[in-house]
Structure 1
Amino acid sequence: MPYSCTWEDRGVYIKFTGIVTLQEVSDSDDAMYDDPRFAGIDYFIWDAGDVTSLALSDTQVDITAVRDLRASLKKDRLKCAFIAKEQRLVKQLEQYLAKVQALKICWQMALFNDISRARQWLLE
């Protein structure tokens, strides 16, 4: 399994490694959204800093944004920190963030290249 999900006091930390597919992204989303603790969290961290490749097409990236729109209808306040270093993955996350903005998802989202900056932003 190329991801792990760790529940923290105020949020959830999802760590990906290796090659990540749409199925793993969907599974990690389901693990978070379907958990009763999701209603009480303030943030999630989607850490793909050790991912070598995100095996998603542009259409699948957009579908992921639409899935998150559905989740945002149940939880209107959430900070979402995404971490990526690999250039293709950064571009796909930028595409995802643009789609989220176009869909008018009310969550605050930002992209970082390291965990310390992401955690600092979450505390602001």
Structure 2
Amino acid sequence: MPYKTNWEPHGIIWKFYGYVTAEEIEEANNEFYTDERSDDSRYQIIDALEVTNVEWNDVDIKEIAAQDKGASFLLHKLKVAYISKDEKVTAVLEKYIDISKILNSTWKFKGFNDLNSAKRWVKDFKNPDKKGI
């Protein structure tokens, strides 16, 4: 399993590493949605700094974006931060965000280069960033 999960009081942090497949991304999502802590979650942080390659094709991206759109009916104000410095990984994550926006997701998305910046953004509940990316 190329990821580790850390639940926090208001959200979840996933640290992915190595070669990540669409199945593993779906597994992480299922872990989130089937856990009762997700009901009160305000954020997800996807730390992809140690990802070396990602196998997530357009069909996979659309499927996950559609599932997340369905979840957004219950989790209206979720903030999703991703951390990546790799161009290929960032491009895949941004494609997912673009599709989510086309589906009119209510979630806010933003990319970062480091964990501390991502944590500050997701934990700012009083002044949420309305722009996202």
TM-score normalised by the chain length of structure 1: 0.94
1:112 is displaced (CA, Å) by 1.2
SS of the equivalent of 1:73 reads coil
Map residues 42-121 of structure 1 onto 2, 5 A cutoff.
Answer: 42-121=42-121
Secondary structure in structure 1 of the residue aligned to 2:104: coil
- Residue 11 (structure 1) shift: 1.0
Aligned to 2:122: 122
Taking only the aligned residue pairs, the percentage that are identical comes to: 33
Query: Whole-Å Cα distance in 2 between the matches of residues 56 and 123 of structure 1?
Result: 28
Residue deviations 1:47-68, cap 9 Å, x none?
Answer: 1111001111122112211111
| Cα-Cα RMSD | 1.1
* Alignment-mate amino acid for residue 60 of structure 2: Q
Aligned-residue offset at 1:74: 2.0
Once the two structures are TM-superposed, the CA of residue 123 in structure 1 deviates from its matched residue by 3.0
Rounded to whole Å, the distance in 1 between the matches of 2:66 and 2:34 is 16
- Calculate the TM-score normalised by the size of structure 2: 0.88
Amino acid of the residue matched to residue 75 of structure 2?
A: K
Q: Gaps spanning 5+ residues in structure 2: where?
A: 125-133
Task: Determine which structure has the larger helix proportion and give its number.
Answer: 1
Runs of 4+ in 1 over 6 A off after TM superposition: none
Offset at residue 45 of structure 1 (A): 0.6
* Aligned counterpart, 1:28: 28
Q: List runs of 5+ in structure 1 lacking aligned partners.
A: none
Deviation track 1:63-108 (CA, whole Å, cap 9, x = no partner) reads 2111111111222121111111211111111111111111010011
How do 1:3-18 residues align onto structure 2 when only pairs under 5 Å count? 3-18=3-18
